[in-house]
C-alpha cells in the first residue's frame, strides 16, 4: 500500500511538472508571436521608408530639403537615440520673415545656403512649414551649435541679405523634452 501511495505521489508530482511545462510552453509561444509581430512591424516601417525615398513624403518638392513629416520623424528618432546613448545635439530654426514678391526665390536661396552650411551626412535640413526650416545638428554641444548659428547669420548677411529670425536649442543643456524645445524655438522665431 505504501508503494502505491509513493507511486501516486510521483504521478501527481509528474503531472504538476507537466502542467508547469505546458504553461511555460504557452508563455514561450506567446513571446514568439509577440516577437514575430514586432519584427513584422519593423519590416513594414522599413518598407514604407524605402517606398518613400525620393518622394514628396521625404523630400520637399519645392526646396529639395527634407519634408516637414520626414524631418519631424528624424528629429524625434534622433532625440530618442541621443537620450539612450547620452549624446548631445542641436536644433536650429531659421524663419524667412518677409513674404514679399521675392519670397519664393529667397526661400529657395535660403534652403540652398542651409544645405551648404551643414555637415553632410551627419546633419539634416528640413522645411518645417511654409517659411521655416529646421536644422538637426548631430553630436554637437551648445557652444559649437552657437558657432553654427553665427556662421549661418554671417552667410545670410554676406550672400543673401534677407531678413530671417534664427533660434537654437541644444540637447541636453537647454532641456530634455523635445516638445518643449520645439515650442520655445517656434515662439522665438514667430
pLDDT tens for the chain, residues 1 to 190: 788 888 889 999 999 999 999 999 999 999 999 988 888 888 777 777 666 665 567 888 889 999 999 999 899 989 988 998 999 999 999 999 988 999 999 999 999 999 999 988 899 999 999 999 999 999 999 999 999 999 999 999 999 989 999 999 999 999 999 999 999 999 999 9
For the record, the C-alpha cell of 31 comes out as 513571446
Contact present, 145 and 92 (Cβ < 8 Å): yes
Is 0.85 topped by the overall pTM?
no
Residue 138, burial from CB neighbour count under 10 angstroms (0-12, 13-18, 19+): middle
Amino acid at each position: 500500500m505504501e508503494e502505491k501511495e509513493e507511486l501516486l505521489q510521483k504521478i501527481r508530482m509528474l503531472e504538476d511538472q507537466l502542467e508547469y511545462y505546458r504553461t511555460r510552453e504557452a508563455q514561450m509561444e506567446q513571446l514568439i508571436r509577440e516577437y514575430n509581430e514586432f519584427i513584422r512591424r519593423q519590416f513594414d516601417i522599413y518598407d514604407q521608408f524605402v517606398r518613400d525615398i525620393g518622394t514628396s513624403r521625404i523630400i520637399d518638392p519645392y526646396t529639395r530639403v527634407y519634408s516637414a513629416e520626414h524631418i519631424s520623424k528624424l528629429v524625434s528618432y534622433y532625440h530618442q537615440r541621443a537620450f539612450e546613448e547620452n549624446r548631445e545635439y542641436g536644433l536650429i530654426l531659421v524663419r524667412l520673415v518677409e513674404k514679399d514678391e521675392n519670397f519664393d526665390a529667397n526661400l529657395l536661396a535660403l534652403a540652398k545656403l542651409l544645405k551648404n552650411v551643414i555637415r553632410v551626412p551627419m546633419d539634416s535640413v528640413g522645411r518645417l512649414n511654409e517659411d521655416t526650416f529646421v536644422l538637426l545638428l548631430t553630436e554637437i554641444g551648445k557652444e559649437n551649435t552657437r558657432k553654427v548659428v553665427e556662421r549661418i547669420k554671417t552667410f545670410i548677411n554676406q550672400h543673401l541679405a534677407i531678413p530671417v529670425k534664427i533660434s537654437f536649442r541644444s540637447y541636453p543643456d537647454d532641456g530634455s523634452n523635445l516638445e518643449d524645445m520645439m515650442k520655445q524655438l517656434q515662439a522665438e522665431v514667430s
